[in-house]
Chain A
Amino acid sequence: MIDSTAKGRWHVIALCLAALLIVSACSQTPAGGTPSASGGATTGGTITLWTAWGGNELKTFRDVLKPFTDKTKIDVRITTVRDVAQLAINVEAGTTLPDIAGPPTPDKIKDWAAKSVMKPLESFLDMTAYTRDTYSALTTCASSDCIGIGVAGGKHYQLFVKTQVKGLFWYNAKVFKGDPPKTWDDLLKVPVSGNQKRFCVGLESGDASGWPATDMIENIVMRQSGADVYQKWIDGKQKWTSPEIKQAFQSFGQTVSADNVFGGPTTVLSTNFGRAGKPLFANPPGCLFLEQATFITNFFLEDYKDLKSVSDFNFFPHPSFNSANAGNIEGFADSFVMYNDTPQARELMKYLATADAQKIFVAAGGTLAANKTVTNFPDPIFKNANDMVAAAKNVLVDASDAMPADMNKAFWRATLEFTKDQSKIDSILQGLDQVQASSYK
């Protein structure tokens, strides 16, 4: 009797041990690569990388990575993570971070730099070459902190790889043949024929609906009131009810008023941003101009396969409000941040900074590199955009994206409510002031 119980006990222990073994096997982390002893190029190992890209953009990114993987044999494991808040959730929870990923929202930059969540480019990159070759507006910081471009405590954290220019006015070159209007007033005086409207606008974009309007308002603020007001606005020190911002909303209102916009405000609200340009090329054309960033050409070509750039569609820069603010343009740049300092991650970051890597992005079309020496644009229009960025005095970041997340979302929402009913401007701006008062804590 005693014997069999003892036997049973051993069975149990053996079983528990087996179970434990299996469970602990699961929690094992993947083995790292083999950093070479001499400090030369690393070979083998893995990198975990998060990106928001999917579809064609992701395919291009894989093309960019291919020469790197072929050469170093480092396995880059890409996960598409659309939600920018996911990083913050992991940081907050103290769970694993990807080795490399996009930057957090700008309000986190200083905090994460101070806590060494992000690793500075200075720790591994040749900064002289990087700052020499990259558009200066993306690397130059007058003070020690420029959260919009990922500079904190005098160190750079964001490695820029791609650039887009926002606030361009696209038109059908077969329809609009006049001189590009130089000022906002000129723009509103461009003759419009028949049932045509002056503008096409589309603000629908799922739960980010309204963002195209925030870009439009930002482009107005930086030209109407200048870079300083723009920065104060980002930092939460410029009230939404201030005359500067209200004026910008009103100017934006001219582009979505029933008189000026294709289909009226309701169409603006129910049209997806990517499809907004369709009426430009319809027969008869529904509108003359669409304000959007460089990437929109991809959508033109999706809707109308045979369009040729320059001869069929082209852009002119945003008309100015005040000559004192000429040279301010709005850019949007993709960047990567290193979160885990591994030899493999350093290797990849260095590679992404090179002209060779960024050439592949540019060759795929629809974007500028961050490296200004890369000019292999398949589309002549991008050469113009490149010249614009290179000549710009200030490439200002997307203000709404640089604001705290709840401020940004409230701004998106506000543009929708404003477009729907412009007479509510004061209560809408007061609502934004309330969010501003609580979201910059």
Chain B
Amino acid sequence: MDDRIITALGAVIGVPLLLGGYLWVTEQLLARLPRRVQPTVRPYVWVFPAVAFAFVFMVLPAINTVILSFLDRRGTTFVGLDNYVFFFTNPDTIASLKNNILWLVFFTGFSVIGGLLCAILFDRIRYETLAKTAVFLPLPISAVASSIIWKFMYQYDPPGAVQTGTLNAAIGTLGFDPVAWLIDSTTNNFALIFVGIWTATGFAMTIISASLKSIAAELLEAARVDGASELRVLWTIVVPLLLPTLTVVGTTLTIQALRVFDIPYVLTSGAYGTDVIASQMFTRLQNGQYDRASTVAVVLLVVIIPLMLINIRRFRQQEEIR
């Protein structure tokens, strides 16, 4: 038998066994404690393996990353803020930062607004499920696969040749010259962001739609009886009630926009001014520049933490309402 199968089996059987053994042993030990203390201690004992795991595999590496970002390439001498100075003065990283801001504004904005519009409009039609499915469909496709789909859509062939790219074939029938969507600096960033919007709108729509359904019909009815126009109902009742959901969707997508990597990597590999921060981290890691890669990671982390805090707070508020 292949030793990889043995390893896999060992992991599948051994890990639960070990955990079971751990709980068994600790239960035996707990039994010796005074009965009054047991309920207080037990949760800590049970949660310990998970916390230890998270600590060893997430917290320690994160701390190590922060340390690495203050060391030189060999990871031996302290260089202070050198890596950060490099990060904020290097033209490549600055260009990437600018692109991430584009992603942040357009990807998040259009996905949330698109998702909201879809959710509200589809709510009023009879074939709602069908329409929602159509918008939702790109979501389960992995980012790499959808990028490859769009690579074909954006394909450029020389003017006069048969256009194999769907978009260029379409504008060709209207009599326009083909556009190099992914190379031309005026279109390429938006071409990439559009792929992101294409996949994320379905996500935004699904969450917003679920929240929309939970708005009490009586509330809307009452407003209508009072003579409020549909737009007024939408603007003063529906949207404010959806606000917590919109914030969660918005922050989630913002985090996605900040750490986007796969779409630019597959479509342009960051060439022609389309590079993003996450791919800066990837290339530097690949080049063995652990110092600079760590710096990028730390900057990303620092930017993302407040967004995560907002998200967590929102979740807590929702829990309290329930």
Q: Which of A263, A405, A413 contacts B287 (CB 8 A)?
A: A405
At the interface, yes or no: A266 with Cβ under 8 Å from chain B? yes
Docked complex Cα distance between A12 and B176 (Å) = 77
B contact residues around A269 at 8 Å (CB): 180, 183, 272
Docked complex Cα distance between A88 and B73 (Å) = 14
Q: Which of B24, B265, B286 contacts A83 (CB 8 A)?
A: B286
Q: Is A16 within 8 A of B288, CB to CB? A: no
Docked complex Cα distance between A22 and B8 (Å) = 11
Q: Is A431 within 8 A of B91, CB to CB? A: yes
> Interface residue count for B (Cβ, 8 Å)?
39
B contact residues around A394 at 8 Å (CB): none
Docked complex Cα distance between A420 and B86 (Å) = 27
Q: Is B287 within 8 A of A404, CB to CB? A: yes
Q: Is B21 within 8 A of A406, CB to CB? A: no
Among residues of B, the one whose C-beta sits closest to the C-beta of A270 is B156
| Chain B stretch 15-38: residues in CB contact (< 8 A) with chain A | 17-18, 20-21, 24-25, 28, 31
Q: Is A266 within 8 A of B156, CB to CB? A: yes
Docked complex Cα distance between A409 and B20 (Å) = 50
| Chain A stretch 1-48: residues in CB contact (< 8 A) with chain B | 5, 8-9, 11-12, 15-16, 18-19, 22-23, 25-26, 28, 30
Docked complex Cα distance between A85 and B10 (Å) = 30
Among residues of B, the one whose C-beta sits closest to the C-beta of A266 is B180
Q: Is A209 within 8 A of B13, CB to CB? A: no
Q: Is A5 within 8 A of B158, CB to CB? A: no
Docked complex Cα distance between A264 and B21 (Å) = 69
At the interface, yes or no: A206 with Cβ under 8 Å from chain B? yes
Tell me the minimal C-beta distance from A224 to chain B in angstroms. Answer: 27
A contact residues around B271 at 8 Å (CB): 209-210, 413, 416-417
> Interface residue count for A (Cβ, 8 Å)?
42
Docked complex Cα distance between A19 and B17 (Å) = 6
Q: Is B10 within 8 A of A16, CB to CB? A: no
Q: Is A30 within 8 A of B14, CB to CB? A: no
At the interface, yes or no: A267 with Cβ under 8 Å from chain B? yes
Among residues of B, the one whose C-beta sits closest to the C-beta of A269 is B183
Known: A28-B3, A207-B269, A405-B288. A19 touches B21 (CB 8 A): yes
A contact residues around B17 at 8 Å (CB): 15, 18-19, 22
B contact residues around A11 at 8 Å (CB): 24
Known: A22-B17, A26-B7, A209-B269. A409 touches B283 (CB 8 A): yes
Q: Which of A5, A88, A420 contacts B288 (CB 8 A)?
A: A88
At the interface, yes or no: B155 with Cβ under 8 Å from chain A? yes
Q: Which of B156, B269, B272 contacts A417 (CB 8 A)?
A: B272
At the interface, yes or no: B256 with Cβ under 8 Å from chain A? no
At the interface, yes or no: A305 with Cβ under 8 Å from chain B? no
Docked complex Cα distance between A438 and B18 (Å) = 49
Interface flags for B78-102 (1: CB within 8 Å of A; 0: not) read: 0000000010000100000000000
| Chain A stretch 264-312: residues in CB contact (< 8 A) with chain B | 264, 266-267, 269-270
At the interface, yes or no: B11 with Cβ under 8 Å from chain A? yes
At the interface, yes or no: A387 with Cβ under 8 Å from chain B? no
Tell me the minimal C-beta distance from A395 to chain B in angstroms. Answer: 27
| Chain A stretch 411-441: residues in CB contact (< 8 A) with chain B | 413, 416-417, 420, 431, 438-439, 441
Interface flags for B166-185 (1: CB within 8 Å of A; 0: not) read: 00000000000000101110
Docked complex Cα distance between A284 and B302 (Å) = 58
Docked complex Cα distance between A188 and B300 (Å) = 50
At the interface, yes or no: A262 with Cβ under 8 Å from chain B? yes
B contact residues around A22 at 8 Å (CB): 10, 13-14, 17
Docked complex Cα distance between A264 and B17 (Å) = 65
Tell me the minimal C-beta distance from A207 to chain B in angstroms. Answer: 4
Tell me the minimal C-beta distance from A6 to chain B in angstroms. Answer: 10
Docked complex Cα distance between A267 and B182 (Å) = 12
Tell me the minimal C-beta distance from A79 to chain B in angstroms. Answer: 12
Q: Is B286 within 8 A of A25, CB to CB? A: no
Among residues of B, the one whose C-beta sits closest to the C-beta of A208 is B269
B contact residues around A92 at 8 Å (CB): 288
A contact residues around B24 at 8 Å (CB): 11-12, 15
At the interface, yes or no: B289 with Cβ under 8 Å from chain A? yes
| Chain A stretch 327-352: residues in CB contact (< 8 A) with chain B | none
B contact residues around A267 at 8 Å (CB): 156-158
Tell me the minimal C-beta distance from B63 to chain A in angstroms. Answer: 18
Docked complex Cα distance between A88 and B289 (Å) = 12
Q: Which of A30, A88, A409 contacts B3 (CB 8 A)?
A: A30
At the interface, yes or no: B125 with Cβ under 8 Å from chain A? no
Tell me the minimal C-beta distance from B69 to chain A in angstroms. Answer: 16
| Chain B stretch 117-134: residues in CB contact (< 8 A) with chain A | none
Tell me the minimal C-beta distance from B112 to chain A in angstroms. Answer: 31
Tell me the minimal C-beta distance from B279 to chain A in angstroms. Answer: 9
At the interface, yes or no: B225 with Cβ under 8 Å from chain A? no
Docked complex Cα distance between A439 and B161 (Å) = 42
Tell me the minimal C-beta distance from A283 to chain B in angstroms. Answer: 13
At the interface, yes or no: B6 with Cβ under 8 Å from chain A? yes
Interface flags for B220-246 (1: CB within 8 Å of A; 0: not) read: 000000000000000000000000000
B contact residues around A270 at 8 Å (CB): 155-157, 180, 182-183
Q: Is A26 within 8 A of B14, CB to CB? A: yes
Docked complex Cα distance between A26 and B180 (Å) = 53
Q: Which of B11, B73, B180, B287 contacts A409 (CB 8 A)?
A: B287
Q: Is B289 within 8 A of A406, CB to CB? A: yes
Q: Is B158 within 8 A of A25, CB to CB? A: no
Q: Is A23 within 8 A of B18, CB to CB? A: yes
* Residues of A participating in the B interface, judged by any CB pair closer than 8 Å: 5, 8-9, 11-12, 15-16, 18-19, 22-23, 25-26, 28, 30, 83, 85, 88, 92, 206-207, 209-210, 262-264, 266-267, 269-270, 404-406, 409, 413, 416-417, 420, 431, 438-439, 441
Give 15 pairs: A residue, B residue, CB < 8 Å, sorted on A.
Answer: A15-B20, A19-B14, A19-B17, A23-B10, A25-B10, A26-B7, A26-B10, A26-B11, A206-B269, A207-B269, A210-B271, A406-B283, A413-B271, A417-B272, A439-B287
Known: A15-B24, A85-B287, A439-B287. 4 other contacts (CB 8 A): A210-B271, A270-B180, A413-B271, A420-B272
* Residues of B participating in the A interface, judged by any CB pair closer than 8 Å: 3, 6-7, 10-11, 13-14, 17-18, 20-21, 24-25, 28, 31, 73, 86, 91, 155-159, 161, 180, 182-184, 265, 269-272, 283-284, 286-289
